[in-house]
Amino acid sequence: MYAKCNKIMKQLAILGSTGSIGTQTLDVVRQHPEEFSVYALSAHRSIDLLIKQALEFNPAVVCIADETYYRPLCDALSDLPIRVLAGEKALLEMVTMPAIDVVVAAMVGYAGLRPTMEAIRAGKTIALANKETLVVAGEIICQLAQRYHTPILPVDSEHSAIFQSLVGENIADVEKLLLTASGGPFRTFSLEQMQSVTSEQALRHPNWEMGAKITIDSASMMNKGFEVIEARWLFDIPVEKIQVLVHPQSVVHSAVQFVDGSVKAQLGTPDMRIPIQYALTYPERWHNDVARLDLFTTQSLTFEEPDLQRFPNLVLSYEAIRRGGNMPCVLNAANEIVNLAFRQGKCGFLQMSDIIAKTMDKVHFVAEPNYETYVETDDVARRIAKELLTTNNYK
């Protein structure tokens, strides 16, 4: 055993610190106050929680994306030596600050793309929770990470499980990635029942406590579709080698099948602090107080194939990544629109996939997009999805 006393304190920047992953990252920091220090925090607009976090963790800098909260944030922190920033440009500047070692990218959606790109360029280790970044622009992100020798460590529980199963292995020896999915709250619903489900029902996830956007994505299995794309880029593996398995107990967090027939999996309680901590301590493992998996009381583990008829988002995701180019970006943009519309009661559950499919048909395909193409595609796809929502009078 090596003593931890020689360890240099890691300075963290947590983007999206008031969200589900952000608050759990701070929980991990609380358990390891000698090893982690919070250098920077950012939030979209949850100012009260951001202030509370700043008072507790005393970061050097905080940033609020929504500039209307700049004054009140300054006022609340005026007695402390904390630099206060606001707006997207300031966030891009913040992630490149020299003292930062690790950037935890935990913002929601497309908004995570630019700051993550800047952090990669600045050579910061990325603990990536924002899967949309890889869905939208996986190719660019991977090229950047290679060019700047920036490690991207997965926070997503499935990808952490695969990553952990691959330690000491050669990626060329992988036959298949087995990506598990809980199946969400509608796993056993009929197509007819799914027609009329409400966002309240969709927000009740059986196993994981998460933010609202990802919980809806989980219920529609768009989250799993995104994770297929995320895995394709993170592990540089053809999408044909990624298989989704519905595993309602969420005990096996994912697995890897190798060319010799061996399968390695990572198991644990469904607690995001495990993968978050692993991303922060890799290649080491540190002790924590997270509840242990008790195999004696664990119910039997079951695995089933996903129903592609009831969960067409999986089909759309495979189609988007197979076509490549700007298609995954369209998939993500349309999904962000319908996900919000569904939460606001403006779109039915099954109509979400309809609109995404139609948006994918309508947006001009670009085989080799650059960053500007992604920005334009995102914009156009959102507009088309919104038009479809209103003209088709969904719901």
Chain contacts with Mg ion (rule: CB under 5 A): 156-158
Closer CB to Mg ion, 132 or 156, in the complex: 156
Closer CB to Mg ion, 277 or 326, in the complex: 277
C-alpha torsion sign, points 349, 353, 358, 359? positive
Closer CB to Mg ion, 234 or 385, in the complex: 234
Token pair, residue 153, equals 């460590």
* Residue sitting closest to Mg ion (CB): 156
DSSP at 109: G
β pairing state of 174-181 and 252-258: antiparallel
Q: How far is the CB of 132 from Mg ion (least distance, A)?
A: 12
Q: Is the peptide bond before 154 cis (omega within 30 degrees of 0)?
A: no
Token pair, residue 357, equals 């499919």
| DSSP three-state, residue 337 | helix
- Of 172, 171, 199, the closest CA to residue 186 belongs to 199
Q: How far is the CB of 157 from Mg ion (least distance, A)?
A: 5
Closer CB to Mg ion, 118 or 156, in the complex: 156
Token pair, residue 222, equals 């768009």
Q: How far is the CB of 274 from Mg ion (least distance, A)?
A: 12
Contact 281, 101 (CB under 8 A): no
Token pair, residue 175, equals 């036959």
Token pair, residue 333, equals 């943009």
Closer CB to Mg ion, 85 or 228, in the complex: 228
Closer CB to Mg ion, 207 or 288, in the complex: 207
Contact 326, 360 (CB under 8 A): no
Q: How far is the CB of 244 from Mg ion (least distance, A)?
A: 12
Q: How far is the CB of 156 from Mg ion (least distance, A)?
A: 4
Q: State the Cα–Cα distance between residues 357 and 351, nearest whole angstrom.
A: 10
Q: How far is the CB of 151 from Mg ion (least distance, A)?
A: 20
